[in-house]
Amino acid sequence: MKIIVLGGDGFCGWPTALHLSQAGHEIIIVDNLSRRNIDNELECSSLTPIQPMGTRLRVWQEVTGKSIRFIKLDIAKEYVELRDLLAAEKPDAVVHFAEQRAAPYSMKSPRHKTYTVDNNLNATHNLLCAIVENDQDIHVVHLGTMGVYGYSTGPKIPEGYLQIKVVSDGKEYPHTILHPAYPGSIYHMTKTQDALFFQFYNKNDGVRVTDLHQGVVWGTNTAETLLDERLVNRFDYDGDYGTVLNRFLMQAAVGYPLTVYGTGGQTRAFIHIRDTVRCIELALENPPAAGDPVHIFNQVTETHRVRDLANLVSGMTDVPVQNISNPRNEADENDLVVENEKFLSLGLNPTTLSEGLMEEVTEIAKKYADRCDESVILPRSMWTQAKLSVVDEDVSEADAG
């Protein structure tokens, strides 16, 4: 297959591009390098020494003999260039990672909120609109999030579609609907709005879409990024982009208390980056048929309560846990029971926490600990104005801790 990877310089995009290239597909990476620019803005950087795109692709060619092309393009702003690229390259599929993907960053300030909305919604819409303008049949594989579901409406969150009975005037009418959206941040909200783009373009124009509702990704490297240190994947540990488990591993590696937001009673879904790239591959190999509705998969392998994870890492490393005020506006405790049969039935063989955790601590977090800037670890984005005053206190406490 010929595949364009939008956002192929990012944490999920880069290892996906390599994995698909290694599997024999022709890959073109499109990226505006926004994630690197945001590092500049936030004055932090990947714990791992990620290389510039030119080096990455040169090394990949050296190591594997395979070539990946790179095109710098802002798909949210450069519609005509995107359309012409699709028309010229005629890809079989596009994998769409090209969105601002951190919930804390999306809540940081009005400028960050408006940027996330403007960027994410125009990016997704431009892609769909360009495919239709070109009258192409391109399979769109989109990285969504478990955060679209918001809360459990039954014992198990289904894969995208919910079986319901509408209750009206005492009668009941069976229907299947897109799972109701109840997002917890501006970032998550844009993904619920993406789902409506997909539904409309699928219904009106027959665009074939697979939407992957992914859990929190942990881990760093895949088989391909391990081939040479210059291919290493990004590892974020800062308060905005560091996902919870990777942040704990980093804190453990440098002996910094494992900061748990609120009670830590939030249950989250997790997946290792090695399984992410395998899931994308499975989605590409199993596209919707013409006329199918949007395919939706839950891209998740385990669920855990945050405090349980903190205690697990603490037990492995003797670094203590510290509770701080929750910067987010959410329930203290939540359950999360998720169906994930679809990828398992397609052959996904998950990497479990118990297998991968220690490797991450020693191979990544400890190895690169000298690159850590502890001043960026604590949360710096508050969900509401009322929470802004509380955080300063927490930060000084934790710094002392």
Q: What's the closest the beta carbon of residue 177 comes to its own copies, in angstroms?
A: 4
Q: Does 289 bind its own copies (CB under 8 A)?
A: no
Contact between 290 and its own copies per CB under 8 A: no
Secondary structure of 4-73 in the HEC alphabet?
A: EEECCCCCCHHHHHHHHHHCCCEEEEEECCHHHHHHHHHCCCCCCCCCCHHHHHHHHHHHHCCCCEEEEC
Q: Pick from 84, 114, 119: which is nearest to 100 by CA?
A: 119
x/- track of binding to its own copies for residues 321-360 (CB under 8 A): --------x-------------------------------
The count of other CB atoms within 10 Å of the CB of residue 162 is 16
Q: Which is nearer to its own copies, 266 or 351 (CB)?
A: 266
Residue 173 engages its own copies in binding (rule: CB under 8 A): yes
By C-alpha distance, which of 125, 282, 132, 301 is closest to 210? 282
Rg (alpha carbons) of the chain, rounded to whole number = 21
Task: Report 382-401 residues binding its own copies (CB under 8 A).
Answer: 383-385
Residue with tokens 């940081």: 108
Is 145 an interacting residue with respect to its own copies (CB under 8 A)?
A: no
Least spacing, CB of residue 74 vs its own copies, in Å: 14
Candidates 55-63, 184-192, 221-229, 353-361; binding stretch for its own copies (CB under 8 A): 184-192
Q: Does 297 bind its own copies (CB under 8 A)?
A: no
Pairing of strands 69-72, 26-31: parallel
Helix (H) or strand (E) holding 132: helix 110-133
Position 130 contacts its own copies (CB under 8 A): yes
Count interface residues toward its own copies (CB under 8 A).
55
Would you name the residues annotated as active-site residues? 145, 187, 191
Please tell me whether residue 162 binds its own copies under the rule CB under 8 A.
yes
Q: Is 126 in the site for its own copies (CB under 8 A)?
A: yes
For position 172 contacting its own copies by CB under 8 A, the verdict is yes
Print the binding letters for residues 85-124 with its own copies: x by CB under 8 A, - otherwise.
Answer: -------------------------x--xx--xx--xx--
Q: Mask: binding to its own copies, 66-85, rule CB under 8 A, as x and -?
A: -------------x---x--
Among 41, 43, 200, 335, binds its own copies (CB under 8 A): 200
Local structure of 261: helix, strand or coil: strand
Of 365, 369, 257, 361, the C-alpha closest to 316 is 361
Type of residue numbered 307: R
**CA 359 to CA 336: how far, in whole Å?**
27
Tell me the pairing of strands 2-6 and 26-31: parallel
| 189-213 exposure pattern, b = at least 16 Cβ within 10 A, e = fewer | bbbbbbbebbeebbeeeebbbbbbb
User: Which parts of this chain interact with its own copies (CB under 8 A)?
Assistant: 79, 83, 110, 113-114, 117-118, 121-122, 125-126, 129-130, 132-133, 135, 153-156, 158, 162-169, 171-175, 177-178, 180-183, 186, 189, 192-193, 196-197, 199-200, 203-205, 329, 383-385
